[in-house]
Amino acid sequence: MKDTGWIAAAEFVRHPSMVGSAFPASARMVRRMLAPLDWSNIKVLVEYGPGSGRSTFEMLRRMRPDAQLIAIETSQAFAAKLREQCDDPRLVVVEGSARDVRRHIGAEVSGRADCILTGLPFSTLGEAEADIIMHETALALKPTGVLAAYQTRTAIRRLIERYFAQLRQGFEWCNIPPCHLYWAARPLSDVVLDRDLSAWQTW
């Protein structure tokens, strides 16, 4: 993978609330984030904010030959660079929002995701937007699905505890900045999550 650090820095300056860090994720952090996942059973994988693509390429390396990775990116620059650097047919790069994850999945595959990985900065997204994204994430996952998240702050924990029944945590110092790591399982059912979100619709 070619160096895309300058793009990360530029996008962070342009959109600090949407880009988690001015620095690409460290290889060590990515390996630790992905290590607990059951790659033999992951067929549909989603990534929010692939950015420079470091996590993306490592996931492709671990994925099954018949698996599909849907990378959802709001930055046109990041999306274009990722398409340019990767011709793996298992990867689909979508320019759009994570709040539309179910629509993005439905456009590519049938069913739900086995795993969703995110580095989106939930601490700066705004309360309503962060809540909608986590709500949609829980609905987009299979009952056996897992959410894996790396964050510089801990704001996401409250949201995970609201929408998932099981949470495991870690911390990685070898990253700039250091990151909190979260693995969430057992997303709450559609019935539990079928609540009125009309108050958020103007966001």
Can you tell me the mean pLDDT for 86-109? Answer: 97
Taking every pair of Cα atoms in the chain, the longest distance, rounded to a whole number of angstroms, is 45
Can you tell me the mean pLDDT for 155-169? Answer: 97
Q: Taking the CA of residue 56 as centre, how many other CA atoms within 13 Å lie in the half-sphere pointing to its CB?
A: 27
Domain boundaries, the chain: 5-187
Can you tell me the mean pLDDT for 49-56? Answer: 94
pLDDT at position 72 over 70: yes
- Topology, domain 5-187: Rossmann fold (3.40.50)
Between 161 and 52, the more confident residue is 161
Q: Give this prediction's pTM.
A: 0.84
Task: Please report which helix (H) or strand (E) contains residue 39, including its range.
Answer: none
Per-residue pLDDT band for 194 (boundaries 50, 70, 90) equals low
Per-residue pLDDT band for 189 (boundaries 50, 70, 90) equals confident
β-sheet bridge partners, residue 62: none
